[in-house]
Chains A and B, each alone.
Chain A
Amino acid sequence: MSTDSPNDSAITGDVARADRIRNRHARRLLFTCASVTVITTVAIFAVLIDNAFSYFYGVTLHDAILGVTFEQQVSFSEFLTGTRWAPDHARPAHGVLPIVYGTLAITVGAAFVSIPIGTATAIYLSEYASPAVRSKLKPTLEVLAGIPTIVYGFFAISFITPLFISPLGNLFGHHVGRYNMLAGCIVVGIMTIPMVSSISEDAMSSVPDELRNGAYALGATKFDVSTKVVLPASISGVFASYILAVSRAIGETMAVTLAAGFQAQITGNPFDEIMTMTAYMVSMARGESAVGTVEYQSLFAVGLVLFVMTLTMNLLNDWIKRRYREEYQ
């Protein structure tokens, strides 16, 4: 660097200042980008609550705050305890329970598929599989996770229902229609298997070999090591994967809409058609044309319930990860 000419150093000083200013601008711009994610969350809350308010009171919350008069149209007790859901019906009923039941039925049914199969897959990948097998199997399961949910819905109505569920229903003396609860459970279960298996496998693989070797030295078989050492040692990660899979199943939309149908009812019969909260939202989506109608308002009331359910799952997931984390160094 030449410091001989004063002119030169003056330029350097100006350039350096310009560079510092540019750095500050860049930093501010990038911070704006990062704040978009926070704004998104706030906006989701605001939009859902604002419009859900109009379902109960006929006006949006911001209109109510600005002084528009309103009176309650739908009572919270009917919404939360009523057992008939038909807000757009000539004789409307506002009990959200049937579609909450639909969502929970699919979620629980799917968990019966994804949790046992996903956990067993994770144990196989982490404890038994040779590196060569694992390097083939893992990407294949990831493909399963990448298939769009609409394709799973198609798979349900064109393969699972006609080939498996209809014969099974006939065996039990039930007529199985195009849509049924069982098909929804199975496809959602299948699509959440990779979630359970890959996150559980990560947790199991991070259990240090010393623990395994200690058990082997005592004469334990791989079965003992897997179930009595590895699984308990990785339980926080394994549970986290279950909760993520459940959370995903709650919010799952297209596969359950195509597989399980649009009949809002509380039924224990797996061959019956049911409606989940998400399927209701798909059936009521009318774009911009429906603003102010009860169909439009109910979208947000249901959306708020759905959002609260998945948010609870995510917070639970966070809590479990922090509370039960086992660190091995």
Chain B
Amino acid sequence: MSTKIDDELFGSADLQWEKLKNKLFLGICFTASLFGVVVLVFLLADVAYEAGIGIVEFDINIGQFLTEGGRRDPEDAGFYAAIVASVWLMALTAVMAFVVGVGSAIYLEEYAPDTRITRLIEANLANLAGVPSVVYGLLVLAAVVNGFGTGSILLAGAIALALLIVPIIIVSTQEALRAVPDGLRNGSYATGATQWQTIRQVVLPAAIPGILTGTILALARAIGETAPLIMVGILFTARRPPGPLDSFSAMPSQIYVWAAQPQPHFHHLAALGIVVLLAFMLTMNAVAVFLRNRYEREL
């Protein structure tokens, strides 16, 4: 029922068109958000398909793939040396990045006075998080590999990865520490405990699930990093599983070496390598989610 006032107010508005515009816009936004999901499905399907072709048509033996080292001949090539290298890298990276990252976060959250130095450290963290991973590789190449003359060893690669994820661990640890209520700290101080006793016996036990979750997620990111390892090491195919002081080719760099080869056989080896790499990442993420869900309720 349109009155004269309605006409004056809405005469120029085409409600039909406004509604259509709204629907179109919803359609565009919805499609855009599905795009990411569709790409993810295609990406995973593509990797699985290429890996499957490798097994079916190129007779890649999974058992051999998981137990043999790298070979120049694709028929005999395996992923075992790269898997061992990645596990070593993760172990060493975890130790270094955990100590430095959690230590820094505790200092910044619990001790740091609000001085210019503290603000400098905080501002620098945001900057470090934006440094491309390949630059960390260059840093370690010049400072450790050639500066200390260690050569392209696995430990140098671990240092590069640790430097890369320290800012991530600091930020997640700070969040975990902030989530510990001040009441707990004050209760501890009231009994006469020093700040360090409070941190060690009250704050850290309460925050440790969050800290571990953040650390594992950061490691899951580190295990897929390729560029710093390529800068630190030499691109090659590792035959034997390395120790911390050996030259190495980890999972992602081995995948790169294979993927960059023109022969199709290597291409499918790379796909199978990606399946293994993603399986590792998935496991780490699952552990992190489990830790979070398990302990979140108790806090």
Contacts and interface: CB of A to CB of B under 8 A. Distances in A.
Interface string A204-231: 0000000000000000011110110000
A130 to B, nearest CB: 12
The residue in B139, B167, B170 that gathers the most chain A C-beta atoms within 10 A of its C-beta is B139
Interface in A154-208: 154-155, 157-159, 178, 190, 193-194, 197
A141 interface: yes
B194 A20 contact: yes
Interface stretch (A44-52, A78-86, A90-98): A44-52
B29 A258 contact: no
Contacts of B68: none
A146 B216 CA distance: 13
B22 A222 contact: yes
The residue in A47, A146, A151, A289 that gathers the most chain B C-beta atoms within 10 A of its C-beta is A151
B283 interface: no
Contact of A151 (B145, B227, B278): B278
Looking at chain B's contact residues, the main secondary structure is: helix
Contacts of B215: none
B107 A144 contact: no
B221 interface: yes
A165 to B, nearest CB: 15
A43 B160 CA distance: 13
A124 B127 contact: no
B276 to A, nearest CB: 12
Interface in A18-46: 19-20, 22-23, 26-27, 29-38, 40-41, 43-44
B279 interface: no
B259 A154 contact: yes
A285 interface: yes
A258 B281 CA distance: 21
B54 to A, nearest CB: 11
Nearest to A289: B234
Nearest to B145: A288
Given A50-B142, A155-B43, A278-B227, A44 B32 contact: no
Contact of B42 (A31, A159, A222, A306): A159
Contact of A222 (B26, B124, B126, B225): B26
A73 to B, nearest CB: 19
B125 A37 contact: yes
Contacts of A121: 29, 32-33, 35-36
Looking at chain A's contact residues, the main secondary structure is: helix
A287 interface: yes
Interface stretch (B55-63, B70-78, B130-138, B178-186): B130-138
A293 to B, nearest CB: 12
A40 B128 CA distance: 8
B146 interface: yes
A40 B163 contact: yes
Interface residues of B, number: 96
A26 B128 contact: no
A121 B35 CA distance: 9
A315 B47 CA distance: 38
A294 interface: no
Interface string A119-161: 0110111011100000001001101101111111111011100
B47 A251 contact: no
B226 A147 contact: no
B28 A120 contact: yes
B104 A33 contact: yes
A43 B25 CA distance: 49
Contacts of A250: 132
A150 B99 contact: no
Contacts of A152: 43
Contact of A253 (B101, B199, B226): B226
A251 B40 contact: no
A19 B39 CA distance: 57
A34 B112 contact: yes
A47 B138 contact: yes
Interface of B: 18-19, 21-22, 25-26, 28-33, 35-37, 39-40, 42-43, 46-47, 50, 99-104, 106-108, 111-112, 120-121, 123-128, 130-139, 141-143, 145-146, 151-152, 163, 166-167, 170, 192-197, 199, 220-221, 223-227, 230-235, 252, 255-256, 259-260, 262, 267, 270-271, 274, 277-278, 281, 285
Given A30-B104, A281-B227, A282-B227, 18 more contacts: A19-B197, A33-B107, A38-B120, A41-B128, A124-B26, A124-B32, A148-B225, A150-B259, A158-B50, A159-B46, A222-B26, A254-B226, A285-B231, A287-B141, A287-B234, A307-B131, A311-B127, A314-B127
23 contacts: A27-B107, A33-B107, A37-B167, A50-B142, A124-B32, A124-B33, A141-B37, A146-B281, A148-B277, A150-B256, A153-B256, A155-B43, A155-B46, A157-B259, A158-B271, A159-B42, A253-B226, A254-B252, A281-B227, A287-B152, A287-B233, A306-B132, A307-B135
